[in-house]
Amino acid sequence: MLGAVLLLITGCHEGPPGADEGVQQGILLLGNGAEPRTLDPHLATGTVENHVISALMEGLTNYHLTDETLAEPGVAERWKRNEDATEWTFYLRSDARWSNGDPVTARDFVYGFERMLTPALGAEYAEMLHVVKGAAAFHAGEVDDFSAVGVEAIDDHTLRISLVGPNPQFPLMVNHYSWFPVHRPTIEAHGGLLARGGEWTQVDNFVGNGPFVLAEWKPNQFIRIEKSPTYWDREIVRLNGIVFYPAQDENTELRMFQSGRLHYTYSVPTNEIAHLQRRQSEHLHIDPFMGVYFYRVNVTRPPLDDVRVREALACAIDRRLLAERVTQGNEIAASSYVPDMFPDYESPVQLEYDPERARRLLAEAGYLNGKGIPPIEILFNTMDAHRKVAEAIGAMWRETLNIEVRLLNKEWRVYLDDQTNLNFMVSRSGWIADYPDPMSFLDLYTTDNGNNNTGWSNSDYDRAIDRARRALTAEERLQLLEEAEAILMADLPVIPIYWYTRKYLKDPRLKNWFPKPLDNRPYKYIYLEND
Amino acid sequence: MFKFILFRLFQSVVVVFAILTLTFFMVRLTPGGPFSAERRMPAYILERINAYYGLDQPLFKQFGNYLGNLLRGDLGPTFTETRTVNEIIAATFPVSAELGLWALLIALILGLPVGILAAAKRNSVIDYGTMSAAMVGICLPTFVMGPILALIFGVWLRWFNVSGWFTAADRVLPALTLGLVYAAYFARITRGGMLEILNQDFIRTAEAKGVSSRNILLKHALKGGLLPMVSFMGPAIAGIISGSFVVETIFQVPGIGRQFVSAAFDRDYFLVQGTVLVYAILITLANLGVDIIQVMLNPRLRFEDSQ
């Protein structure tokens, strides 16, 4: 009788469909890593949020199907620039609509930028818009009138943006969610421009202009979105809906995939990779990801203020061994700071494992055979992976240089504060590009950048970065960035270790999903089909 | 008894208030703030955000504001979500309560009879067998038991979903994971309690008088034999409530346990205070209830206010 009862209750099915039904119904089931903190494009800061927001909303340009470095028309069907790429004019399509039927106009973008840059809102990514003329001053509260900022709605379908300097890449930048428009009547009906509470993002209130609309949001359970009936390109959207599961536990997500509840996972538990490579290799994917794992060095703290010591530490790391044996996720041993993912950019300095050179440098710095050097502390936040790397690198330093190494494991927020306050010697760090360009990796280390966190300041470097920002051609820009990276790698306030890879499981029935270095997804092209 | 309950209720209020105050100050004095981020935001933006949540005011003023809002039933906003603390607790507490109730039910239904049986058939194969199984259950933590159950019944047999809280069937694996550990504890403690009673003279008298063993067990020995179990219920309920975090993470259950832990991790001040408040009230009430039941079961105990 218990069996009958069990059968009865397991028979009833509510909730989202399984993977097979999903293929039949055109509903994509995605693991999305964590519960999004917000669906407001101006307050969001993470990839988890972006994965949902980029389905619900659309900017001037869109993600390309395969190439992260190409801008594809979004709300703007075409654009033109002035001669030195300081002024861009976007022509919006006339059939772009919000999900409630209202037309999307240039004024919606102006309103969006104003909201983003309003200091009282406290938008964390507002700095992305500082390339616009007058934006930084308005954002700092120095100027009260938004009309001083270089954005203008010439008419309903023409938007002109003036920049602080030449930027041939600008159309590529504006597919980021910090540049998305928002629907003004909706915002004003739910607390106004400054409201951070997200009332307007609730299911009954949300108005977006993307290929999908918000249908159901059960916090910590799932977010379900449906194909939008008003999206201008709805004819080519083949998915009927997407369900995002915030599966925080990687092992739970793996079980969900293996029991037929997901088409795609957010990640894969590291210790399962070898097993999956043997048993489920048709599902497992490992792609390069545009990010670098590195050790930040506090150059204000002796003995690390001596560049020879820093270089010794850098040369004493066998990155290949680390990537092969310790991290086990097919990570790529870093030969420089900027990942080798940009076809026209070549990092000038190639880091190598050279224990002899390391010992020589340390001796030159006055610590022959490690004598007299204080212990080096490696700070990292609580995570098994970081501990393993720190232990391995600590062992390498001990063996090669005969120095004492201490591991400092701190909780995430304490670790963040320590890094910000330069309360460390060497600190584990990672950086993922905001946009697919070497600049996104290199502009952190200018003297005034809030993410520098090394105490390093080099005016040649600042100059190179500044000139790169103002370069008129792509060649010139990349050339200047290569010069900047050369300075960075000569001084080594950061010691690159490896370049990231992304590991995930993908159902082969998921089509038109190409690996992208930043994992930006053009959902409008993706579809599900039985083989 | 009435005076006793009143006094203990008053005591509970004082305890909960002390916990609330301690939590309030501890979480704000902890290093690392809610807005420490990997990408630093400009100082003037951080100021604005702090001002929005009232975090730039002196601590005592913030505490006063918090108490004032608390009296009006408003537990404050969250920093990491769009819902308010009230909304989160209203949505997640019933889920955890349901999970805890199922777990408790499983623990009682499995643990009590097994314990009684083991005591009745003391030193037999049944006794040794069940108590060994119970030992395994006690030693296996939920974060081992849960994935094992999910793997066997979810991935291999596909009888249940490996995660989620949608259908009635979704309750089974999480409740089992949480409940089996306590079933094991209940079995062992019940066996111990029953054995102690069964050794007493009055039981021997009853046997001599010819009372059936079933009646001896259930009518004469049970009330006394269950006493240790009842005392254990207080900590057990506390354990089930706080253990729910692991089970909720493994099975993607939208409960309050996960909110509790992630709030502390994120320094989400108001959410930490709110969840601590819920737990404090629950545990003090559970202990109060257990004390009352103990006195009702054991005529030799008395309430503290009577002679």
Q: How far is CA A222 from CA A14, A269, A528, B10, in A?
A: 13, 21, 20, 42
- Cβ <8 Å between B37 and A247: no
> Mean pLDDT, to the nearest integer, of B192-197?
89
> Mean pLDDT, to the nearest integer, of A394-418?
94
Same domain, A379 and A317: yes
Residue A148, domain CATH: 3.90.76.10
Taking the CA of residue B291 and the nearest CA in chain A, the distance in Å comes to 35
- Describe the crossing of helices A355-364 and A307-315 by its angle, rounded to 10 degrees: 160
What domain range includes position A192?
Answer: 58-198
Any domain includes A271: no
Any domain includes A419: yes
* Final residue belonging to a domain, choices A166, A198, A230: A198
Distant-in-sequence, close-in-space partners of A187: CB < 8 Å, separation ≥ 6? A115, A193, A195, A200
Same domain, A50 and A104: no
* Nearest to A78, CA basis, from A158, A133, A154, A151: A158
* Nearest to B118, CA basis, from B200, B15, B225, B20: B225
Measure the CA–CA gap between A172 and A177, rounded to whole angstroms: 12
Closest-CA residue of A relative to B148 is A255
> What does B77-109 look like in DSSP terms, one character per residue?
B-SSSSSBHHHHHHHHHHHHHHHHHHHHHHHHH
Which three-class secondary structure state does DSSP give residue B246?
A: helix
> Mean pLDDT, to the nearest integer, of B163-177?
93
Taking the CA of residue B209 and the nearest CA in chain A, the distance in Å comes to 40
Give B254's contacts in chain A (Cβ within 8 Å).
218-221
At B214, is the pLDDT very low, low, confident or very high (cuts 50, 70, 90)?
A: confident
Residue type for position A183? H
Same domain, A101 and A16: no
Preceding amide of A438 cis, omega within 30: no
Give A19's contacts in chain B (Cβ within 8 Å).
none
Give B39's contacts in chain A (Cβ within 8 Å).
45, 124-125, 451
- The pLDDT of residue A168 is above 90: no
Any domain includes A309: yes
Report chain A's terminal Cα–Cα distance, integer Å. 41
Any idea which residue has 């009232």 for tokens? B54
Closest partner residue to B40 (CB to CB) among A122, A141, A420 is A420
Instruction: Please tell me which residue, A246 or A343, carries the higher pLDDT value.
Output: A246
Pairing of strands A405-410, A376-381: parallel
pLDDT tens sequence across A479-530: 999 999 999 999 999 999 999 999 999 999 999 999 999 999 999 999 999 9
Q: Structure tokens of A63?
A: 């993600």
pTM: 0.90
Best of B109, B161, B172, B272 to disrupt the A interface (most A CBs within 10 Å) is B161
* Nearest to A474, CA basis, from A171, A223, A152, A220: A171
pLDDT for A134 equals: 93
- The pLDDT of residue A434 is above 60: yes
Give B33's contacts in chain A (Cβ within 8 Å).
413, 417
Report chain B's terminal Cα–Cα distance, integer Å. 11
Closest partner residue to A14 (CB to CB) among B31, B166, B251 is B166
Which three-class secondary structure state does DSSP give residue A104?
A: coil
Closest-CA residue of B relative to A220 is B254
The share of chain A scoring above pLDDT 90, in percent, equals 78
CA angle A53, A230, A241 (to 5 degrees): 55
* Nearest to A485, CA basis, from A339, A367, A347, A286: A347
Same domain, A457 and A489: yes
Give B164's contacts in chain A (Cβ within 8 Å).
15, 221, 261
Alpha helices in A103-183 (DSSP H): 106-117, 135-139, 170-173
Count of Cβ atoms closer than 10 Å to residue A235 Cβ: 8
Same domain, A92 and A238: no
* Final residue belonging to a domain, choices A198, A225, A254: A198
Residue A311, domain CATH: 3.10.105.10
Any domain includes A284: no
pLDDT for A299 equals: 95
Taking the CA of residue A384 and the nearest CA in chain B, the distance in Å comes to 17
Best of B82, B156, B167 to disrupt the A interface (most A CBs within 10 Å) is B82
At A61, is the pLDDT very low, low, confident or very high (cuts 50, 70, 90)?
A: very high
- Cβ <8 Å between B44 and A120: no
At A286, is the pLDDT very low, low, confident or very high (cuts 50, 70, 90)?
A: very high
Distant-in-sequence, close-in-space partners of A352: CB < 8 Å, separation ≥ 6? A315, A335
- Describe the crossing of helices B269-297 and B227-250 by its angle, rounded to 10 degrees: 150
Same domain, A349 and A438: yes
Any domain includes A91: yes
Taking the CA of residue A15 and the nearest CA in chain B, the distance in Å comes to 6
Any domain includes A340: yes
| Residues recorded for chain A | 531
pLDDT for B306 equals: 55
Same domain, A468 and A319: yes
- Cβ <8 Å between B159 and A123: no
Q: How many domains does chain A have?
A: 3
Give A453's contacts in chain B (Cβ within 8 Å).
40
Measure the CA–CA gap between A402 and A369, rounded to whole angstroms: 6
Measure the CA–CA gap between B99 and B91, rounded to whole angstroms: 13
> What does A350-409 look like in DSSP terms, one character per residue?
-----HHHHHHHHHHTT-GGGTTPPPEEEEEES-HHHHHHHHHHHHHHHHHH---EEEEE
Same domain, A437 and A312: yes
Q: How many CB pairs under 8 A join A and B?
A: 146
The share of chain A scoring above pLDDT 70, in percent, equals 97
Closest-CA residue of B relative to A117 is B45
Q: What is the rounded average pLDDT for all residues in chain A? A: 92
At A375, is the pLDDT very low, low, confident or very high (cuts 50, 70, 90)?
A: very high
Q: How far is CA A52 from CA A37, A57, A58, B54, B182, in A?
A: 11, 9, 11, 30, 40
Closest partner residue to A15 (CB to CB) among B38, B49, B164 is B164
Same domain, A23 and A63: no
A433: DSSP letter: -
pLDDT tens sequence across B129-163: 888 988 988 898 889 999 999 999 999 999 999 99
* Final residue belonging to a domain, choices A198, A223, A250: A198
Closest partner residue to B44 (CB to CB) among A141, A220, A248 is A141
Measure the CA–CA gap between A158 and A162, rounded to whole angstroms: 13
Give B161's contacts in chain A (Cβ within 8 Å).
259, 261
Same domain, A239 and A318: no
Taking the CA of residue B184 and the nearest CA in chain A, the distance in Å comes to 22
Same domain, A167 and A248: no
Same domain, A345 and A428: yes
Closest-CA residue of B relative to A382 is B265
Closest partner residue to A417 (CB to CB) among B31, B155, B266 is B31
- Cβ <8 Å between B52 and A259: no
Any domain includes A16: yes
Closest-CA residue of B relative to A413 is B32
CB A303 within 8 A of CB A367: yes
pLDDT for B155 equals: 94
* Nearest to B137, CA basis, from B103, B165, B162, B171: B103
pLDDT tens sequence across B75-94: 999 988 888 999 999 999 99
- Cβ <8 Å between B33 and A413: yes
pLDDT for A10 equals: 44
> Mean pLDDT, to the nearest integer, of A105-110?
96
- The pLDDT of residue A6 is above 80: no
Taking the CA of residue A175 and the nearest CA in chain B, the distance in Å comes to 20
Which helix (H) or strand (E) segment holds residue A96: the answer is: none
> Mean pLDDT, to the nearest integer, of B206-218?
81
Give B266's contacts in chain A (Cβ within 8 Å).
413
pLDDT for B303 equals: 63
- Cβ <8 Å between A251 and B147: yes
At A12, is the pLDDT very low, low, confident or very high (cuts 50, 70, 90)?
A: very low
Give B160's contacts in chain A (Cβ within 8 Å).
10
Any domain includes A106: yes
pLDDT for B304 equals: 60
- Cβ <8 Å between A451 and B41: no
- Give whichever of A119-128, A184-193, B26-35 has the largest mean pLDDT: A184-193
